[in-house]
Amino acid sequence: MASRSTNKQLAGDPDWWRGAIIYQIYPRSFFDTNGDGIGDLAGVIHKLDYVASLGVDAIWLSPFFVSPMDDFGYDVADYCDVDPMFGTLEDFDALVKEAHARGLRVLIDLVLSHTSDRHPWFAESRKSRDNHRADWYVWADAKRDGTAPNNWLSLFGGPAWEWDTKRRQYYMHNFLATQPDLNYHNREVQDATLDVAKFWLERGVDGFRLDTVNKYVHDAQLRDNPPLRQGMRATVDDGNPVAMQEPLYNINRPENLDYVERLRAVLDAYPGTTSVGEIGNRMVEGPELGQYTAPGRLHMVYGFDLLQGPVTAEGVREALERAKRHGASWISWPFSNHDVVRVATRTGLGPEAAPMLLQLMLCLGGSPTLYQGEELGLPEADVPFDFLKDPYGKRFWPDIKGRDGCRTPMPWSGALPHAGFSAALPWLPVDHHHIALAVDRQEVDETSPLNLARAFIGWRREQPLLRTGELTFIDAPPAVLAFTRTAGGEGLLCAFNLSHEEAAFEPGVPCVPVAAPGIAGGRFAQDSIELDALGVFIGAMKP
């Protein structure tokens, strides 16, 4: 095994992650070097100079482990090796080394709640009820009438239980039937997954994005989930019946926190590493945000509220204030990722809103996560049904088109075939609307979303208030989000107009406009902030 990296450039501040900008890379859609139409780790290495040029602090790699790819890597068949389509362990080691040399830390996506049904652990577990790993997954007898043990539902449609003819029992799966859930009531399972974390920490990773971290432990009594209580609302209700249940017993179990504390202890043995946990339950987030970021648990959680539906001033303020009420100590607030409609489309504000939305995300506090292509202002791609790969999209088409539209290849060149992503036909088609937004075309335009993003990120790096300052909202017109970031007697006032109508308001805070690169459309005159359509204002607060 490779020895852990000790890159001096990254040594020092153990709290580097506070306010850091994380750039999410979906490897199979980033850059293809071997001509098979699928991005690979060598492709990530090839484009690290581009990533570093953005000014971000870290990269997060979506899964690249050995997998049958039923859910495109989120169904792991071997936690400690690289799937051949992405390369080798040696490629991964080279990636870590090259990223560190450019001042980029590396986070990887650990999918520990479930495995693939091709994982050797499951192959052994399903052989019998008395083998060494018989209890490593969530098995249960059928009811007397042969039906599933309870009413839990899979996010991918139907019951969260699959009948196994060999064991003559059901096994649990929160996702696809080929993604059986591990049994975290078994201490050996906990130990085995902690060993996985140690394996990658020894290879030099700087931390983990923890997929579905609140779904590790299930209710041992297998109690039915109740229907959604009156007055409760789902984060998203897209027709999936999962939104009709209150997930009391298959998600956010108190025992889950015990394992998280064990995982944190492993991370603490590797100074300078961090963790960000995905808290996904399709419901408005509440106490779990504070529970998971309590001392001795996760460094930060990955907020979902701003990933669902349009980004509005009211919605953003409500989400951040709710997180604060529930004691969340640190949150990574993303606007886009590999599972949701890209924010440039979701807001309905048009492509011209992309720079404003990125600047808003970078000013909100916490540790923002920028999804590949977001810096280009990419809209959601239109993927015809015949080209769909996502099982979720296939299952719920046409009402839900799935996740392929945000996973299409990164457009590098406006002139080369397939936008320069690959010499071969890509695994998903390149949307023709993305060609005009290719990296090479934006590089030569000083006013492009890409160059505005670089300029603003570079300025933000020199603004400690925007990394760690206290955030306080200011009342403003309905379409305007206004807040201050303060610390040590200094402050910045930020205002964003999330509409195509002009707006003005008196913030009650005297300030002087700041010449932040890339911002436009905002003025301070006679105690009033005036904002053009999609305008941004940032001012230094007077003592």
Residues labelled as active-site residues? 211, 278
Q: Which residues contact 231 (CB under 8 A, 6 or more apart)?
A: none
Burial 63-81 (b: 16+ CB within 10 A, else e): bbbbbebbbbbbbbbebee
The packing angle between helices 187-202 and 255-268, to 10°, is: 30
Residues in contact with 191: Cβ distance below 8 Å, sequence separation at least 6, in sequence order: none
The helix (H) or strand (E) run that includes residue 536 is strand 536-541
**What number of other Cβ atoms are within 10 A of residue 203's Cβ?**
19
SS3 content of the chain, % helix, strand, coil (to 5): 30, 20, 50
At position 17, the amino acid (one-letter code) is W
Report residue 446 as tokens: 């000083």
Handedness of CA 324, 330, 336, 341 (dihedral sign): negative
The β-bridge partners of 165 are: none
Q: Provide the 10 A C-beta neighbour count for residue 543.
A: 6
Q: CA 540, CA 55: separation in Å to the nearest integer?
A: 23
Q: In angstroms, rounded to a whole number, what is the distance separating the alpha carbons of residues 526 and 513?
A: 13
In 3D, which of 179, 169, 173 has the Cα closest to residue 161?
173
Contact between residue 360 and residue 496 where contact means Cβ atoms under 8 Å apart = yes
Q: Could you tell me the end-to-end alpha-carbon distance of the chain, in angstroms, rounded to an integer?
A: 55
Instruction: Answer left, alpha or beta for residue 327, where phi above 0 means left and psi between -120 and 50 means alpha.
Output: left
CA separation for the pair 246, 278 (Å, rounded): 18
In total, the chain counts a number of residues equal to 543
